[in-house]
Amino acid sequence: MRSVAIVGTGFIGRGWAVCFARSGWDVRLWDPVDGAAESARRYIADMLPGIAAAGLLTGSTEQDVLARISIASTLTDAVEGAAHVQENAPEDLALKRGLFRELDGLAAPDAVIASSTSALLPSAFTDHLPGRARCIVAHPVNPPHLIPLVELVPAEWTDETTTERTEALMTEIGQSPIRLQREIDGFLLNRLQAAILDEAFRLVAEGYASTDAIDGCVKDGLAMRWSFMGPFETIDLNAPGGVRDYVERYHGMFRGMTETMRHSADWAGPVLDRIEMERREKLSQSELPERQMWRDRQLMALNVHRSTHQSE
Amino acid sequence: MRSVAIVGTGFIGRGWAVCFARSGWDVRLWDPVDGAAESARRYIADMLPGIAAAGLLTGSTEQDVLARISIASTLTDAVEGAAHVQENAPEDLALKRGLFRELDGLAAPDAVIASSTSALLPSAFTDHLPGRARCIVAHPVNPPHLIPLVELVPAEWTDETTTERTEALMTEIGQSPIRLQREIDGFLLNRLQAAILDEAFRLVAEGYASTDAIDGCVKDGLAMRWSFMGPFETIDLNAPGGVRDYVERYHGMFRGMTETMRHSADWAGPVLDRIEMERREKLSQSELPERQMWRDRQLMALNVHRSTHQSE
């Protein structure tokens, strides 16, 4: 049976386990903390009924999925025979360098070793490895079983076949992989998020709008089209002659705006007091966990919607 | 019967007509171009079956909605007795200044006069009017009957009651109004769009990713949560202690990214050749109109989905 090793079983590792197991893969969980993998497997067992009820188990039953997820008592056992290793350790460079040395020594020669890191460049923790050509970043979004994007970020020494195999694997299990041509801090997702958040913080800091107005603007305006097309296709369809026509019409208008975005508000400064106050008026601190469950139910419903309407 | 005047019957005016008429309002169309209002009404008649089939006529029939939309032969007739005037003229300052002078002279004293402009500040075309306190920008997204956001932008002399009445009206007809505290170029929507597009153009220009990878990153990653929460609620739910906890954890990481965003790629430069080539490989110029219809069908389906799952 085709198997993957999940190294590190926090929220990201647990989501990955569901992604692989519901697609028929044998999943072996490993975590250095005593009892952590067992606890992760119980957490997954608790999650599965909700995912099954939403119809997001790809035709498998809860029992099938859970039966495919086992606990490895050693890292050696976890990676033995695995075609793919997905590492989800804390964002600590020294720790990841050491862990990748171990993984590169233990994994089968033809296995891909992928990191879920969002904060570290692949070159920073794979340069010292004999098998660095089979290492790559495969960065998911939380929770991976409900948000399909996976960013594939090669180091300069990553083999093209490593990227291709990872892309094919992610596609096979129903994720949506995208490729970066080369590494950059934040990859694509967090850079695009940084850009929009930076303007959002500026607009609140300078008194133009409330936190809630900005959320409403994105939720009920911008993100509706983006959620099935992305920003480039949106503008391509927003002028009669396509994207060139759009840029020729509106480039000057947008340049006037971007010229005023050359500074950042201090996100942790007084604006944060206002944002926190406005958020806590909408949702108290104690209601956060319940609202996180609401978010996940919304994501499940959106996945179901997309599976029936996202046809190209 | 409560009535609104739609002044200017291009795509935005037509969408507004549907928004008001499906909610029971009497709509009077006026356009200075001979035959334009008649042509707009026929266009609306052709659109209605699709909107009705999607269940987005708020309980009205196509016949009801169309019967509520009439054509005014003069601007005087259009605004007479109207509680709300929605202006959708071309983005030409001199034209809008003249038109607003006319509208302010013709409209009933207690009518609100709102502009759909996305490019002009309300202070720029209402400063000279005796009734400037009842003027406001109510900027919709295209198409207004499928994207609920309306940005309410007051000039410094706009009465608070003007903003409140427009907000109540937009809410009543099922739109999602948000308020700016004061005017700024691009309002919120186009500023947030400018921020994300500017980073998207930079990433393509500097060779990090393709147009399609960026669209995928937003579509399958960022915009899923944004489409029902917006960016602030997303980060509020992405750290155990809420938004302050999130900022304290990740502020440094994001600052490193935003520091590298202090320049823009020339959107109309060589990067545009690449983006246009990549878009036209996915979709030829001649397929654009068909894809725009696909977009509107996707938006209809998303509206139906939201009406059943967006409950707070």
Predicted confidence (pLDDT) per residue in A182-196, tens digit = 999 999 999 999 999
Chain B positions touching A200 (Cβ under 8 A) are 192, 231-232
Residue B28 and residue B109 in contact, taking contact as beta carbons nearer than 8 Å:
no
> Which of B225, B262, B282, B283 to probe by mutation at the A interface, max A CB count within 10 Å?
B225
**Does B213 contact A180 at a Cβ distance shorter than 8 Å?**
yes
> Which of A141, A233, A276 to probe by mutation at the B interface, max B CB count within 10 Å?
A233
**Does B223 contact A219 at a Cβ distance shorter than 8 Å?**
no
**Average pLDDT for A8-28:** 97
Residue A30 and residue A7 in contact, taking contact as beta carbons nearer than 8 Å:
yes
Chain B: residue whose CA lies nearest to A11: B238
Chain B positions touching A255 (Cβ under 8 A) are 264, 267
Whole-prediction pTM: 0.96
ipTM of the complex model: 0.97
Per-residue pLDDT at B199 exceeds 80: yes
**Does B256 contact A288 at a Cβ distance shorter than 8 Å?**
no
Q: What pLDDT is attached to residue B312?
A: 52
Task: Decide the pairing of beta strands A26-30 and B26-30.
Answer: unpaired
Q: Tens of pLDDT along B156-165?
A: 999 999 999 9
Q: What pLDDT is attached to residue B65?
A: 97
Closest CA to B187 of B114, B137, B227: B137
E strand spans, B45-89: 69-71, 84-87
Chain A positions touching B194 (Cβ under 8 A) are 199, 254, 257-258, 261
How many CB pairs (< 8 A) connect A and B?
A: 344
What is the DSSP secondary structure assignment for residue A147, as one 8-state letter?
Answer: -
> Which of B228, B283, B293, B300 to probe by mutation at the A interface, max A CB count within 10 Å?
B228
Cα gap A53→A60, rounded to integer Å: 12
Per-residue pLDDT at A312 exceeds 80: no
Share the mean pLDDT of chain B: 96
Q: Which amino acid is at A13?
A: G
Chain A positions touching B248 (Cβ under 8 A) are 268
Task: Decide the pairing of beta strands B149-153 and B135-140.
Answer: antiparallel
Q: Which of B219, B248, B251 sits opposite A229 (nearest CB)?
A: B219
Exposed / middle / buried, residue A66 (Cβ in 10 Å: 0-12, 13-18, 19+): middle
Q: What's the start-to-end Cα distance of chain A, in Å?
A: 33
What is the DSSP secondary structure assignment for residue B218, as one 8-state letter?
Answer: I
For residue B30, give every residue at least 6 positions away whose Cβ sits within 8 Å of its Cβ, in sequence order, or none: B5, B6, B7, B8, B9, B37, B71, B72, B74, B75, B77, B78
**Average pLDDT for B251-258:** 96
CA distances from A28 to A173, B81, B163 (A): 16, 72, 59
